[in-house]
């Protein structure tokens, strides 16, 4: 049985540098960059000292708006080493979202790259301030963002108004090793050092406060569930700003001395190429990433024989996709992980030796030192095994709370310390959990409870269906009707009539989609989660157009 680590993230990294000093810690093939554990520890020392010289203090909030660049990693560990709080910024954010995050988080420092997917981060930041607000050397005074003092550019060709990364690093000479050590000694594992904003599908995004103990222990437990060791090489194509990248990826690997091979941006072919050339033994991804990799026309040309394990998570994992990942990518020991940012994030995980039935039908059982119970959403009482209800969890992994949102914190965590996830689930006699949907995603059609996940899994079995999302759309008579948004496989001529015929006699009549929409893509977050609330709005507008055409 794994025991909880009682150390800070900085102490863990220093320990690994002593233990695996000459071993590769980080490899960026696309940048021809390789860090050993000792080299990486030394890099974080420089960045930590530069932050101290900049005036960043323990407990201060430092935001990073960047893709999976190497500097993201050094900032993740350097901020932890001085007790500053790393505020992760979604790479898809636009100006109003960035302004909200910087203001709500009280961030004093912002590190940013040039841009991503057509959005200029520099121009976006400039749009928030007036020219007169800028002060030399990357310092700013912004009326709307009173806490923000430092703007630092990551990358080549920095803007005149921003401090360059090189200028920032040069500040490390102004701090001593003793000053850094003194700061590190003052830290406690239960202090907050990471803040991630929930996607905000309802209301404004909330800043989830996570401690050294929260994310370091969760990463370590995840690594053990995967049977990850210092001999493994983990490819990370998921974004660092999300827990999947920085906890299930980086911290899980580093906690056991493994090597990480990150991609700056996700590209399915680049993933397969990196796995082949770097002989990766593990690969992470959300289902849509694995689908994209499996459906490459030249997929079979890549040698993926070194792959053994990894994690599929972030959204429900289709059974057919999981089977293909195991059979066609050779990932026999792949695991499914389930959780949410508020739980650091993993609550349950399948194990490498679980039979395929467990891997495709459940999200595993709770990690060590994690409590799970299923409760009636109305009464709050625990339900018997194999009965549906809301999944609740308690333990070391539960967040400190939402930043400056005590009411929202009390709503999420009850007085007994149980985090209410808002997810519908069932648990069997052996503790394996099956997620049946979100409380708010459940469709109520004429008094019948319809669980989208169940219908999605059935529709995936059609040979022409690449991906499917089932949603509820408003209806005067039934309250809601079932709609399916289908992505067809390339070259498919699948029709609505053919799909409906496929459903008849196989699933209950009230579960058969009454509306079918064929789509090219889904609205998604930068971390690969499909935004069903946006999909519902799109479907409603499609229905309105359809109605106009009929009339």
Digit-coded pLDDT (tens) for 523-535: 987 667 788 888 9
Backbone angles phi, psi at 299, to 5 degrees: -50, -45
pLDDT above 80 for 487: yes
What is the model's pLDDT at position 146?
83
Which class for 428: exposed (0-12), middle (13-18), buried (19 or more C-beta within 10 A)?
middle
Q: Terminus-to-terminus CA distance in the chain, angstroms?
A: 66
Digit-coded pLDDT (tens) for 171-229: 999 999 999 999 999 999 999 999 999 865 445 789 999 999 999 999 999 999 999 99
Long-range pairs of 321-329 with CB within 8 A, sequence gap ≥ 24: 321/287, 321/290, 321/291, 321/294, 321/460, 322/356, 322/359, 322/360, 323/356, 323/360, 324/290, 324/294, 325/290, 325/294, 326/356, 326/359, 328/294, 328/299, 329/283, 329/290, 329/293, 329/294, 329/304
Pairing of strands 192-197, 85-88: parallel
A 10 A CB-CB count for 265 gives 14
Q: Which domains does the chain have, with CATH numbers?
A: 9-16+31-197 (3.40.50.12780), 443-550 (3.30.300.30)
Peptide bond connecting 345 to the previous residue in cis, omega within 30 degrees of 0: yes
Distances from the Cα of 437 to the Cα of 203, 296, 424, 452, 456, angstroms: 20, 30, 5, 7, 11
Q: Which of 211, 196, 243 is nearest to 89 (CA)?
A: 196
Give the rounded distance of the alpha carbon of 29 from its chain centre.
23
Digit-coded pLDDT (tens) for 415-461: 999 999 999 999 999 999 998 877 777 786 766 667 787 788 889 99
Rounded distance between C-alpha atoms, residue 340 and residue 477, angstroms:
35
What is the model's pLDDT at position 527?
66
What is the model's pLDDT at position 447?
61
Distances from the Cα of 530 to the Cα of 241, 336, 358, 488, 522, angstroms: 17, 18, 24, 17, 6
Pairing of strands 192-197, 335-339: unpaired
pLDDT above 90 for 546: no
Rounded distance between C-alpha atoms, residue 131 and residue 324, angstroms:
54
Digit-coded pLDDT (tens) for 241-265: 999 999 999 999 999 999 999 999 9
| Rounded average pLDDT over 95-107 | 92
Residues 24-57 as b or e (16 or more Cβ within 10 Å = b):
bbbbbeeeeeebbbbebbebbbbbbbbbbbbebe
Lookup: tokens for 168? 């920032």
pTM of the model: 0.83
| Contacting residues for 209 by C-beta, under 8 A, at least 6 apart | 85, 192, 194, 195, 399, 400, 401, 402, 403
Rounded distance between C-alpha atoms, residue 136 and residue 212, angstroms:
35
């Amino acid at each position: 049985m794994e025991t909880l680590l009682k150390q800070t993230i900085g102490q863990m990294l220093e320990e690994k540098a002593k233990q695996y000093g000459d071993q590769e810690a980080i490899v960026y093939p696309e940048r021809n960059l390789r860090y050993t554990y000792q080299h990486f520890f030394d890099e974080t020392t420089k960045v930590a000292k530069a932050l101290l010289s900049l005036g960043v203090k323990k407990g201060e909030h430092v935001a990073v708006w960047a893709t999976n660049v190497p500097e993201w990693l050094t900032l993740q560990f350097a901020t932890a080493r001085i007790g500053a709080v790393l505020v992760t910024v979604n790479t898809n954010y636009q100006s109003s979202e960035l302004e909200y995050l910087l203001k709500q988080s009280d961030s004093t420092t912002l590190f940013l790259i040039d841009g991503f997917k057509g959005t200029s981060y520099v121009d976006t930041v400039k749009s928030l301030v007036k020219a007169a607000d800028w002060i030399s050397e990357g310092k700013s005074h912004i009326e709307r963002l009173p806490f923000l003092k430092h703007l630092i550019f990551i990358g080549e060709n920095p803007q005149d108004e921003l401090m360059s990364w090189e200028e920032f690093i040069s500040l490390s000479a102004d701090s001593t090793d003793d000053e850094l050590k003194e700061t590190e000694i003052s830290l406690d594992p239960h202090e907050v050092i990471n803040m991630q904003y929930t996607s905000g599908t309802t209301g404004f995004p909330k800043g989830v406060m996570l401690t050294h103990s929260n994310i370091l222990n969760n990463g370590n437990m995840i690594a053990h569930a995967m049977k990850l060791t210092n001999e493994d090489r983990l490819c990370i194509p998921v974004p660092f700003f999300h827990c999947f990248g920085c906890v299930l990826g980086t911290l899980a690997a580093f906690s056991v001395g493994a090597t990480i091979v990150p991609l700056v941006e996700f590209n399915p072919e680049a993933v397969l190429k990196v796995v082949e050339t770097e002989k990766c033994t593990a690969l992470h991804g959300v289902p849509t990433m694995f689908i994209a990799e499996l459906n490459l026309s030249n997929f079979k040309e890549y040698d993926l024989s070194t792959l053994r394990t990894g994690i599929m998570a972030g959204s429900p994992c289709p059974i057919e996709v999981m089977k293909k990942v195991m059979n066609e990518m050779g990932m026999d020991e792949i695991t499914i992980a389930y959780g949410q940012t508020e739980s650091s994030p993993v609550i349950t995980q399948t194990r490498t030796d679980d039979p395929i039935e467990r891997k495709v039908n459940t999200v595993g059982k709770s990690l060590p030192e994690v409590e799970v119970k299923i409760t009636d959403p109305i009464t709050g009482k625990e339900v018997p095994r194999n009965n549906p209800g809301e999944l609740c969890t308690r333990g070391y992994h539960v967040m400190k709370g939402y930043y400056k949102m005590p009411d929202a914190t009390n709503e999420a965590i009850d007085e007994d310390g149980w985090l209410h996830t808002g997810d519908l689930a069932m648990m069997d006699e052996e503790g394996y959990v099956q997620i049946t949907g979100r409380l708010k995603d459940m469709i109520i059609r004429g008094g019948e409870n319809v669980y989208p996940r169940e219908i999605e899994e059935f529709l995936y079995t059609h040979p022409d269906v690449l991906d499917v999302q089932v949603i509820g759309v408003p209806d005067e008579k039934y309250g809601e009707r079932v709609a399916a948004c289908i992505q067809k496989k390339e070259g498919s001529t699948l029709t609505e009539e053919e799909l409906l015929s496929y459903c008849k006699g196989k699933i209950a009549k009230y579960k058969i989609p009454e509306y079918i929409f064929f789509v090219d893509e889904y609205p998604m977050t930068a971390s690969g989660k499909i935004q069903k609330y946006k999909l519902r709005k799109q479907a409603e507008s499609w229905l309105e157009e359809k109605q106009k055409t009929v009339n």
